[in-house]
Amino acid sequence: MLCSMKRLVVALALVTVLAGCGADGLQPWHRVSLDSEYGQRSAIAVTSLEDYFALEDALFAELDQKIYEADDATLDASFSRYRSGSPADPRGLQPDWNRTVLLEPEGKIHGSVLLLHGMSDSPYSLRALGLRLQSEGYRCLLLRLPGHGTIPAGMLDLNWREMAAVVALGMQHLVDASMGGSVHIIGYSTGAALALDYALKNPAGVGSPASLVLISPAIAISPAAGFATIKRWASMLPGLSGLAWLQVEPEFDPYKYNSFATNAAEQVHRLTRAVSRVISDADAAVLPPTVVFKSTVDATVSTEAVVDGLLLKVRPGEHELVLFDINRHAATAALLQDDPAPLTRRLSQKEEMPFTLTLITNTSDDSQRVLASSRKSGSRGDNETKKLAERWPEGVFSLSHVALPFSPYDPLYGFKRPADASRIFLGSQAIQGERGILRISQQYLLRLRSNPFFPYLEERTLDWLDFRTGTSSEIGHSSLKDAPDVER
C-alpha cells in the first residue's frame, strides 16, 4: 500500500512538472534548423579552415534568409537580437564576432594562438585577448564552435565531438601556417575543456600545443547535468518540446544566447567526463605548461575540480593556478551563503604544491586594494606578494564565471556605458525599482559581466606566452609591478 502511494505521489509530481513543458514561449530561433551548420553530413567535405569559412558563409546567409528576412512585426525593434536594425542586431559591426575571426599581426609573428569560446557564447568572448595578442605579434584564430553565433536552436543538435573536430581543424591550420613555430591554446569555460581534450590526445610532436591558458575552465559541472539526456529524450514526445530547454529567455544579447538547451548541458557533461577519464586512465597524464585563471566562486563550474580533478592529477610541470578571491572588504561572512575560504585555506596550508598558486585577494579586510600572493611549485617558503594597481570597484563583492575574459572597458559588458547610445549596453547598471517589471531577470542584472582585474589577466597571459616562445614583452602593465603603497 505504501509503495502504491509513493508511486502515485511520484506520478502526480511528474504530471505537474510535464504540464509546464510545452512549447509556450518558444520563438522561431528556438525551432528553426540551419542546414548549413557543421555536423555529420558536412564533416566529410570540410577538411580545412578554408572549407569551414566557406561553410560559415552559407550558414550566415541561411540565417539571414530564415530569421532576419522573415520579419516579424510583433518583435520589439529596440530589444531583439533577431530584428534587423535593432541595437542588439550584431550584423552592423565588423568584424562579425559571431563568426570565426583570424587576426594577423603586422610585422614579425612570434607565435600562433587558438582561442576557444564557451557554450552558448561566440568568439566575442575572447575578443579583447585576441586583439591584444595580435598587437603583440601573435597570429590569433578565434574559432566559432558549431551551433554557436547564430540561433539558440543550434544547440539542440550539437555534439561535443563535432566541436572537438573543428578544434583540430583550427589547430592544423595554425600548425601549418606557423611552419614549426609555437602554437598555444586559450580556452574559456567549455572551450577550456575542449583545449584539454585536444592537448591530452596530442601530448607530443607536431600539433601538440606549446602551452594552455584556461579561463573559468569547465573541469566538472553539477552531477545533475547527467539527467539532461533523459530530459532531452522526453522532449521528443508529443507536447513536451519545452523539455528541450533548461532556460528560455528573450534574446537581447548580440553575442551570447540567453536561452540554454538541455542538449548543451548534456554535451558539456559528456565532454568533461571524457576529459576526466583520460586523466584518470593514464598513469600520469601529461599537459603542456598550463595556467588556469579562476574565480573562487563560480555558479557554473566547480572550482574544487580544477584543483582535485586536474592540477593534482596530471604530471607536475610548469603549471599555475591563479585564483581571484571574493572581495573580503564588501562580502562580510554574515551575508555569504558559501564562503570559499576553506578552499583557499586548504591550498595555502598544503606543504608542497605540484603547481604554482597565486591568490588575488584584498590587502586587508578593510581595504578595496588587492595583492597577488604567489607560492612557487614545490616551495615550502614564504609567499611572494605584490600589490596590484587594480582594486575592487564599489559595490562588487566577487567575480563570476562569465566575467573573467571581459575588459572593464568592454563596450557591451563593461563598467561604463559607451558614448555610442545606438548600441545595446549590458554591463554594470545601477537599477532599482519594483520586481517583475523589467524584461531582464534580476539574476542577470546581479551577475558581474566584466573583470576589474582583466589587465592583470591580460598581461599575465601575454607574459606566459612570451616566455614559452622566447619573446620578451616590451610593454609591461602596472598590474605586474608593485603598486604605490597608498590607499586610493
**Residues contacting 358, CB < 8 A, separation 6+:** 320, 321, 322, 323, 372, 373, 374, 375
pLDDT band at 236 (very low <50, low <70, confident <90, very high): low
**3-state SS assignment for residue 195:** helix
For residues 357 and 383, give the distance between their C-alpha atoms in angstroms, rounded to a whole number.
Answer: 9
Window from 257-261, 357-361, 440-444 with minimum mean pLDDT: 440-444
* Residue 388 contacts residue 453 (beta carbons within 8 Å): yes
Among 22-31, 439-448, 472-481, name the most confident range.
Answer: 22-31
Tell whether the model's pLDDT for residue 7 goes beyond 50.
Answer: no
By the 8 A CB rule, do 347 and 292 touch? Answer: no
Give 335's contacts (C-beta < 8 A, 6+ positions apart): none
User: Sorting pLDDT into bands at 50, 70 and 90, what band is 54?
Assistant: very high
Could you give the CA distance from residue 5 to residue 11 in angstroms, rounded to a whole number? Answer: 10
Q: What is the mean pLDDT of the chain?
A: 84
**What would the pLDDT profile of 305-364 be if each residue is shown by its tens digit?**
999 999 999 888 899 999 999 988 876 655 666 778 788 888 887 777 889 999 999 999
pLDDT at residue 380 tops 80: no
298: number of Cβ within 10 Å = 22
User: What pLDDT, on the 0 to 100 scale, is given for residue 482?
Assistant: 45
The larger pLDDT score, comparing residue 445 to residue 282, is at 282
**Cβ pair 329, 370 in contact under 8 A:** no
Who wins on pLDDT, 300 or 34? 34
Rounded to whole angstroms, the Cα distance separating 64 from 219 reads 36
User: What's the pLDDT score for residue 10?
Assistant: 38
One-letter amino acid of 263: N
The string of pLDDT tens digits covering residues 450-467 is 999 999 999 999 999 999
User: In residues, how long is the chain?
Assistant: 488
81-138 pLDDT, tens digit each: 999 888 899 987 888 999 999 999 998 999 999 999 999 999 999 999 999 999 999 9
Residue 350 pLDDT: 79
Confidence label for 270 from pLDDT (cuts 50, 70 and 90) = very high
**In terms of C-beta density within 10 A (0-12 exposed, 13-18 middle, 19 or more buried), how is residue 229 classed?**
middle
Would the pLDDT of 144 be above 60? yes
* Dist CA 271 CA 164 (whole Å): 9
Q: How confident is the model at residue 442 (pLDDT cuts 50, 70, 90)?
A: low
Bridge partners, 212 (sequence order): 185, 290
- CA 162/CA 300 separation, integer angstroms: 23
Q: How confident is the model at residue 223 (pLDDT cuts 50, 70, 90)?
A: low
Question: What's the confidence (pLDDT) of residue 433?
Answer: 64
What integer is the mean pLDDT of 444-448?
75
What DSSP element (H or E) covers 321?
Answer: strand 319-324
Instruction: Kindly provide the b/e burial profile for residues 66-91, where b requires at least 16 CB atoms within 10 angstroms of the residue's own CB.
Output: bbbeeeeeebeeebbbbbeebbbbbb
Mind giving me the DSSP string for 274-301?
HHHHHHHHSSS----SEEEEEES--SSS
Q: Per-residue confidence at 436, pLDDT binned at 50, 70, 90?
A: low
- Dihedral Cα 337, 341, 343, 348, nearest 10 deg: 180
What are the tens digits of pLDDT across the range 146-158? 999 999 999 999 9
pLDDT band at 9 (very low <50, low <70, confident <90, very high): very low
Whether 41 shows a pLDDT value over 80: the answer reads no
Higher pLDDT, 486 or 385: 385
Mean pLDDT of 169-195: 95
Q: Residue 195: its pLDDT value, please?
A: 98
Specify the higher pLDDT residue, 189 or 337: 189
Q: Is the pLDDT of residue 11 over 70?
A: no
User: Residue 484's pLDDT band (boundaries 50, 70, 90)?
Assistant: very low
